[in-house]
């Protein structure tokens, strides 16, 4: 059959790529086709904008004047965080909803595709839905709040490199969370949210990690998201920004981000392979908990 021949003749890389694309398309449809584009756009931007405005008002009831550096810190952190929420938590929810809600995980699993590629595709679709929120938050920060973010001073190559590495780190974290979700049932819906809330606290999303207790500071430096947020702030805001990691230079921050991302990607692949194998051994890969 022509289809069989074409599938067999494809290299593993091209099959992986095709699976990723289809996973991406499916993820985007699930994410966006529940409503019309306008409501979806409002839905996408309302939460991050609400989040940044909460921080702005918190700032104003305390400081009331000046302090654009701290506002910039808030704006970039709030703009970047939806990528974590959607990318990391979304990856986990993709698997859980396929297993529990749509009940399609078993069919996806027995098809001749890479489950990793499928999940990465779903994660990238989720991350794409965060783009509008990030863009609107940054524009709002620049033009309404007066955050000093100018095209002339943005370090574009640095920011782009940090962004790509950050998305890699988010997907790696997503795969690690998925690895845990594969092995648990009742708590699976809540666990990604718990991980997201913990990361929100320790990664310097809305405040510099320098105010955390020393133990949490050390923990935060082992997570690539801390370095990603720091690098994005330095790339977008330049030297005027309040820093989470003031002892490190810009290239060092990017270097640590790259190193930690590579480590977490490797850890994610190992964890996922182990979890998948273990779930099959226990017969729980497609277990529905009815939660």
Partner 1 sequence: MSEIARARGLRRVVRATLGRAYPRIIGANRERSWLFYDTVLPLLGTIAFVYVYKALGAPDRFVGYVIMGGATMAFWMNVMWNMAAQFYWDKQGGNLELYMVLPCGIVPILLGMSIGGFVGTLVRAAAIIVIGSVLFHVTYAITQLPLFLLIFAVGIIALYGLGVTFASVFLMWGREAWHMAELFMEPVFLASGFYFPVRALGFWVGMGTSIIPLTLALDAMRQLLFPGSHPALLPVRAELGALVGLAVMFMLVARWSLRKMEYLARREGRLSLRF
CB 39 within 8 A of CB 31: no
CB nearer to partner 1: pick between 201 and 267? 201
By CB under 8 A, what part of segment 36-95 binds partner 1? 42-43, 46-51, 53-55, 57-63, 70
* CA gap 113, 174 in Å, rounded: 19
Q: Of 161 and 201, which CB lies nearer to partner 1 in the complex structure?
A: 201
Of the candidate spans 20-28, 175-183, 184-192, 232-240, the one that interacts with partner 1 by CB under 8 A turns out to be: 184-192
Q: What is the closest distance, in whole angstroms, from the C-beta atom of residue 6 to partner 1 in the complex?
A: 32
200 touches partner 1 by CB under 8 A: yes
Cα 232 from Cα 254, distance rounded (Å): 10
Contact range with partner 1 by CB under 8 A, out of 20-28, 121-129, 196-204, 247-255? 196-204
Residue 211 CB, shortest distance to partner 1, in Å, is 5
Binding mask 137-176 for partner 1 (x = CB under 8 A): ----------------------------------------
Contacts of the segment 5-10: beta carbons below 8 A, 24+ positions apart = 7/112
Q: Is 193 in the site for partner 1 (CB under 8 A)?
A: yes
Is residue 215 a contact point for partner 1 (CB under 8 A)?
A: no
Q: Tell me which stretch binds partner 1 (CB under 8 A): 108-116, 155-163, 188-196, 256-264.
A: 188-196
Q: How far is the CB of 153 from partner 1 (least distance, A)?
A: 24
Q: Which is nearer to partner 1, 48 or 168 (CB)?
A: 48
| Closest to partner 1 by CB, 155 or 210 | 210
Which positions lie near partner 1, rule CB under 8 A?
Answer: 34-35, 42-43, 46-51, 53-55, 57-63, 70, 101, 186-187, 190, 193-194, 197-198, 200-201, 205-208, 211-212, 290
């Amino acid at each position: 059959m022509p289809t069989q021949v074409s599938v067999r003749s494809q290299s593993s890389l091209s099959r992986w790529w095709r699976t990723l694309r289809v996973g991406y398309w499916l993820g985007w449809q699930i994410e966006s086709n529940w409503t019309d584009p306008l409501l979806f756009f409002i839905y996408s931007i309302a939460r991050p904008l609400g989040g940044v405005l909460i921080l702005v008002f918190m700032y104003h009831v305390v400081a009331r004047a000046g302090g654009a550096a701290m506002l910039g810190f808030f704006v970039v952190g709030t703009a970047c965080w939806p990528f974590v929420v959607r990318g990391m938590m979304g990856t986990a929810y993709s698997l859980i909803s396929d297993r529990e809600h749509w009940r399609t995980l078993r069919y996806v699993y027995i098809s001749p595709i890479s489950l990793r590629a499928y999940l990465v595709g779903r994660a990238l679709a989720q991350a794409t839905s965060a783009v509008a929120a990030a863009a609107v938050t940054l524009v709002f920060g620049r033009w309404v709040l007066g955050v000093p973010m100018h095209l002339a001073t943005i370090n574009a190559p640095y920011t782009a490199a940090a962004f790509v590495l950050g998305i890699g780190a988010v997907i790696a974290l997503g795969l690690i969370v998925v690895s845990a979700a594969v092995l648990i049932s009742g708590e699976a819906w809540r666990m990604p949210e718990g991980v997201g809330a913990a990361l929100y606290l320790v990664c310097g999303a809305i405040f510099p990690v320098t105010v955390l207790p020393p133990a949490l500071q050390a923990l935060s430096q082992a997570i690539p998201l801390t370095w990603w947020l720091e690098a994005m702030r330095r790339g977008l805001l330049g030297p005027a920004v309040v820093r989470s990691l003031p002892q490190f230079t810009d290239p060092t921050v990017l270097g640590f981000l790259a190193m930690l991302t590579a480590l977490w990607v490797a850890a994610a692949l190992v964890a996922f392979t182990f979890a998948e194998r273990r779930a099959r051994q226990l017969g729980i890969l497609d277990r529905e908990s009815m939660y």
